[in-house]
Structure 1
């Protein structure tokens, strides 16, 4: 098996891209195959080096690596050679219509009740007419002559699929400026790099029919490449995700504090009956099953992702996060706070509670309680027995219990209504800080 992930460096990766990358990587690793990262960068106007670097960085953040790497701009000579073969066989033909002329033709066909397909008028052009036009400064674009009929394949996700070529216009493979389009370059690369399986989004189904026809024209063996198309993602309400990709870009999710293991586990299970389990790509690869992916659109729910993120954080050992914690934060701090984290960035807030300055919360109705708490605050050293012993003493003198007892103390000590278990957290705050905050909350 050899698969490829082929993003265009015209922007940064979003969750839809990541889902495709994870699927390909898992299949390759599961079956002892190879994973090729290919940058489809022939759109030189929109492709940027910073996007190419960002794609690689985001893939590494996810935990994905690759066995081979190539950029399409390094293979222009291979595309030119393949194009010459298609020209020689009569499958690639020159066209001289302008965009305006093509638009007029489409409008005319629609008015006549016909599908807006290209009429292949350029096939009637003689060599003399073409030479004369080129001599007068015109540059042709080149179309691939579709073979007609239907192309069928057994899709790895969608089942039996077919594309009726007679219902499509002959695709442009080479623009008038000589640049190659993805429809063509992708086939040349897949053929020459030995790709055995193409796993991509459902929006490429029509492309697949066309590309199978191109592959055959280039001498590819029928069925040499297997295809699987993952249904597209929608938002939690079933609407198109594409309109909201800005908030679901990998870079933004990373900035928001989403853990790569949570995103990998979520995307690997998304659209299947499997329960998502957070984990590294290597951990989820063994159970990944393309055959269990539903043919229906999958809903990407940020709430489910956040729940998985919490689950992952709550189980992380100190050694896994030690280098990410604030200076001075030890294992006792991590074990105390990890069960309260939705996102790792919240660690900084809890470290401020332990080692920094906060604004204690205090209500006038709780002033007497806080005064008594100040008087009864035990001397150090403190351990996990300090909190229950201290609150028992406060309860005995005030008659308060439950929320009426614990919430005012938590607000005064941490400035929050909720948080880590104070049995473990109070010793980290320390007596001096606790005493100062109780007095501030009382005043």
Structure 2
């Protein structure tokens, strides 16, 4: 049996880092087990689903390093769902209900007042053909509910019915079907809710493992019952903790907050996002992981805790900075060209500045600093101006290398008696115009003697 997983978002907006957590859990699980990854778009809500969002989701996944083995759309499979509907109806497991939302809410309140669980009481099962015809003559259209197997003979007399599974993430889990309402599978307008198409697709696409957020734990009990009703074995399930903002607020595709697209535009590296999305809320340390292969080695779904995985967006910048600090030139060479960085000095430049970057785009600022047209405009006090005049007069002859800065400053220290901040700060300001930055021992060879002299105040 080939391990087969799926990521099944609705294309109703851009995916965010929380969605990426689910996609990555599935992708890494498939990689560790030599399996397949199916990208399925749950786009039965055709009013809200947009092809542009589906295209963007695929782009975002590719950018993160996730490459599906198969892509499919539920909107192209309606005939498969209708066939399943007919099977369930024929088996007496799908029944029509005619209550309005207001009537259902009233029934819920009545049950609560009687200290009963606020679940649907299956009143529609008592309707005869004439009753249903009369309701439909009023203009009512039925929604259809799946009859849960939580009774012996009389559906109105439910009994505790445990559905249990060994969760890939959470361990042993149990849902009592008697505590749940019969789920609506088809709305009154004839459109499908999530449950039926998802189960039908999982069966026909050979999904062996379903890994998703822990907000679906209760749904799993219902879906396992539906798998059995359709004559299929249920896949293995895993439910990871949800990724939330530090405040505990959930993430939403509709709000666009922390979308993968916006993080990319902000200059966050894909592996910074992947590292945070996978490791937050687990027993692993949150640290930058350089590649998807390395992340797969660290990945253990059972390491996720049961509490929400809270994170601070600022953590992404810290991870990004740490990734860039060790990133080899070959990994960024082509991307640096977009910021004007190229030529013989490009690799030495990258090795000099990468430790001072929060984002790759920050390299453009330092490339400007080492360019021949850059002239720092810093006013110096008289004492510092005199010091700099002496210092620049002591510049060593070329060729220059990584030891030139030490040799030069040692000579300046001997000549002027200055040391520490009084020695180094004026020199840095004269050369870069900035209070801090990359090691000047690395920048000085990039400037060369002629350009360094040109910056003499």
Q: Secondary structure at the match of 2:419?
A: coil
C-alpha displacement of 1:182: 0.6
Contact 1:384 1:423 in 2 (8 A): yes
Q: Distance in 1 between matches of 2:252 and 2:413?
A: 55
Q: Distance in 2 between matches of 1:432 and 1:90?
A: 89
Give 1:294's aligned residue: 305
Matched, 1:262 2:272: yes
1:9-408 equivalences under 5 Å are: 9-148=11-150, 149-221=161-233, 224-236=234-246, 239-242=248-251, 246-275=256-285, 276-325=287-336, 326-329=339-342, 330-355=346-371, 357=374, 359-364=376-381, 366-378=384-396, 381-408=399-426
Q: Secondary structure at the match of 2:438?
A: coil
Give 2:447's aligned residue: 429
User: What is the TM-score of this pair, normalised by structure 2?
Assistant: 0.88
C-alpha displacement of 1:363: 4.1
Q: Secondary structure at the match of 2:164?
A: strand
| Number of residue equivalences | 436
Cα gap change, 1:313 to 1:362, in 2 (>3 Å): same
Contact 2:30 2:37 in 1 (8 A): yes
Gapped regions of structure 1 (runs ≥ 5): none
Gapped regions of structure 2 (runs ≥ 5): 151-160
Contact 1:143 1:171 in 2 (8 A): yes
Q: Distance in 2 between matches of 1:79 and 1:152?
A: 26
Q: Distance in 2 between matches of 1:381 and 1:86?
A: 83
Q: Distance in 1 between matches of 2:119 and 2:341?
A: 68
Q: Secondary structure at the match of 1:314?
A: helix
Contact 1:353 1:429 in 2 (8 A): no
CA RMSD, aligned part only? Answer: 2.3
Contact 1:233 1:240 in 2 (8 A): no
What do residues 212-236 of structure 1 show as CA deviations (whole Å, max 9, x unaligned)? 1111111123xx4111111122444
Cα gap change, 1:139 to 1:68, in 2 (>3 Å): same
Q: Distance in 1 between matches of 2:226 and 2:380?
A: 75
Contact 1:264 1:279 in 2 (8 A): no
What do residues 51-83 of structure 1 show as CA deviations (whole Å, max 9, x unaligned)? 111110110011111111111101111111111
Instruction: Say which is worse superposed, 399-408 or 427-436, in terms of deviation.
Output: 427-436
Cα gap change, 1:428 to 1:361, in 2 (>3 Å): same
Contact 1:139 1:177 in 2 (8 A): yes
What do residues 312-371 of structure 1 show as CA deviations (whole Å, max 9, x unaligned)? 212222111110113343111111111222221211111121125465444426333233
Contact 2:13 2:256 in 1 (8 A): no
Instruction: Say which is worse superposed, 54-63 or 270-279, in terms of deviation.
Output: 270-279
Give 1:419's aligned residue: 437
User: What is the TM-score of this pair, normalised by structure 1?
Assistant: 0.91
Give 2:155's aligned residue: none
Q: Distance in 1 between matches of 2:283 and 2:167?
A: 19
Q: Distance in 2 between matches of 1:45 and 1:188?
A: 22
Q: Distance in 2 between matches of 1:257 and 1:169?
A: 46
Q: Distance in 1 between matches of 2:76 and 2:387?
A: 74
Instruction: Say which is worse superposed, 400-409 or 325-334, in terms of deviation.
Output: 325-334
C-alpha displacement of 1:246: 4.5
Cα gap change, 1:228 to 1:338, in 2 (>3 Å): same
